[in-house]
Amino acid sequence: MPLLLIVILSLISPALGAQYANADLPVYERVDLANTARPTAYQLNLRDQQLFRLPEGTRYLARLTYLSLMRNELERWDDQLTALHRLEVLNLQENHLRELPPAIGDLRHIRRLVLTHNQLKTLPPEVGRLRKLTYLHADLNELDRLPASLSECRRLQLLDLHGNQLSEVPRSLDRMKHLAQLNLGYNQLREADIAWAKLPSLVELNLEANRLRRLPASLGTLPKLTSLILTGNELTQLPASISQLGQLKLLVLSDNLLERLPYDLSGLKELRTLILTDNPLAAGELDRIRNALPNCKVYY
């Protein structure tokens, strides 16, 4: 990951611990105080407390809908979590978790699950039972595969998997008809699966820093796509169908092997930013691109 991005993330991360909390409800920072106010204890923020396990009594907070355990020392799933059946937001970012148990599938009300920056190598099949899951952050782990059951999370709108070791994703991903944001940057992908072109709600697609050499022609069938990031791959050409992305506003193609773009770019009527730096594009080709996209800022 670029050093600048790491620095930026380190600066903003202190604000992330409670960012998904409901501002209209109190957020408790101690389990004993939350238990004292148990009938009204809906939110608990235990971030940055050097916890190796959950404090005793956490299991009794049955009304909790929000729990942040961000930046602790958890190495394994604590069984007390399974008792919190009403949880809607669970933040486990920046711990040392190596695996999740099948019991995670019992948290049926989870809408946002934050697993960022752990040591997970896979997700259990039971994650497919989280039918209300809308936002899944599993970036910056060691995932080398995903369960096919993930596609059962039909309400997913955001799926962030960047910074893992994925060489493929389940073809059943195309069942996620509400998925709007898909981040697969910094993985080991060699092919862009044609199934991704069956995501009718997809708005943002990030495939940067993989090993892609080509893109499928079906890429042009993503009707709502506004952002496509392909930095740092091995692309030598783009499919002509990319001109069909009529809603595309941002296209990042830097650090590839492109000598030319498709001849017809007339369909990219909404494109406002095109980044072409670090490609072997001749001056004549750059002139052609700029002339074809008069309303677009082209960086090269």
Domain limits at 258?
213-300
Contact 189, 208 (CB under 8 A): no
- 297, containing H or E segment: strand 297-299
First vs last C-alpha separation in the chain? 22
Position 69 in a domain:
no
The pLDDT value given to residue 14: 36
The pLDDT value given to residue 224: 96
Position 33 in a domain:
no
Contact 186, 1 (CB under 8 A): yes
Position 37 in a domain:
no
Position 42 in a domain:
no
Give the pairing of strands 43-45 and 66-68.
Answer: parallel
The DSSP-derived string for 63-75 is T--EEE--SS---
Instruction: List the one residue out of 144, 91, 140 whose CA is nearest residue 122.
Output: 144
**What is the total residue count of the chain?**
300
Position 233 in a domain:
yes
Residue 102 in this model has a pLDDT that exceeds 60:
yes
pLDDT band at 139 (very low <50, low <70, confident <90, very high): very high
Residue 24 in this model has a pLDDT that exceeds 60:
yes
User: Dihedral of the CA atoms 290, 294, 297, 298 (nearest 10)?
Assistant: -10
Residue 122 in this model has a pLDDT that exceeds 90:
yes
Split into its structural domains, the chain has a count of 1
Average the pLDDT over 198-223 and give the result: 94
DSSP letter (8 states) at residue 11: H
C-alpha separations of 122 from 26, 50, 118, 141, 151 in Å: 34, 25, 11, 9, 15
Position 219 in a domain:
yes
pLDDT band at 264 (very low <50, low <70, confident <90, very high): very high
- Count the Cβ atoms, other than its own, within 10 Å of residue 79: 12
Residue 280 in this model has a pLDDT that exceeds 70:
yes
* Chain segment 181-208, per-residue pLDDT in tens: 999 999 999 988 777 778 999 999 999 9
Say how far apart CA 107 and CA 213 lie, in whole Å: 40
10-14, 101-105, 271-275: least confidently modelled range = 10-14
State the amino acid at position 96 in one-letter form: H
The pLDDT value given to residue 198: 83
273 - beta bridge partners? 250, 297
Q: Domain of 284: which CATH number?
A: 3.80.10.10
- The proportion of the chain whose per-residue pLDDT surpasses 70, expressed as a percent, equals 93
Position 2 in a domain:
no
* pTM as predicted: 0.92
* Chain segment 283-293, per-residue pLDDT in tens: 999 999 999 99
Average the pLDDT over 247-273 and give the result: 98
Position 136 in a domain:
no
